[in-house]
């Protein structure tokens, strides 16, 4: 199958002709705020003077200075924790005061040691070795059924 390219119109061909253009850029010293910047000499580094120590990360890798956690009091730590957990809504205080229920809807104490699992009575010896098929217990007929 031969591929046929679309030809450009004469107007498009005229617009796509190569042309020489010149972009005039200002010298560095003509740009406001850059009067004291000196261009780098060829094959060398230019203005290597740091404007300030914090811009260059002075002492950032000094091994002698370890962060001092003692600068933050326990109260400040708690306030920082609350701030990080805050959503900025009126519910923040309710969320902070929320507690897990100790009783169920009937007023009976909750006992986490005894968990009612539907179908637990159908468990067999295969469960001990990890081969129980809990999903299909209701469809399975045992050897003695």
Residue 95 banded pLDDT, cuts 50, 70, 90: confident
pLDDT reported for residue 5: 81
What's this model's pTM, rounded to 2 decimal places?
Answer: 0.24
On the question of pLDDT at 15 being above 70, the answer is yes
d(CA 118, CA 116): 6
In the chain, % helix, strand, coil (3-state, to 5) comes to: 30, 0, 70
d(CA 145, CA 143): 6
Residue 48 banded pLDDT, cuts 50, 70, 90: low
Q: What is the mean pLDDT of residues 112-117?
A: 67
On the question of pLDDT at 53 being above 70, the answer is no
| CB distance 77 to 71 below 8 Å | no
């Amino acid at each position: 199958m031969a591929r046929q390219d679309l030809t450009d119109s004469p107007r498009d061909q005229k617009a796509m002709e190569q042309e020489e253009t010149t972009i005039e850029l200002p010298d560095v010293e003509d740009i406001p705020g850059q009067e004291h910047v000196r261009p780098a000499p060829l094959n060398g580094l230019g203005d290597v003077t740091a404007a300030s120590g914090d811009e260059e990360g002075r002492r950032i890798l000094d091994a002698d200075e370890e962060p001092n956690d003692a600068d933050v009091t326990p109260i400040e730590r708690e306030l920082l924790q609350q701030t990080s957990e805050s959503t900025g809504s009126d519910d923040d205080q309710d969320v902070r005061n929320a507690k897990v229920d100790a009783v169920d809807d009937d007023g009976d104490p909750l006992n986490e040691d005894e968990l009612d699992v539907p179908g637990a009575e159908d468990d067999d010896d295969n469960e001990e070795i990890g081969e129980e098929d809990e999903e299909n217990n209701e469809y399975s007929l045992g050897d003695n059924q």
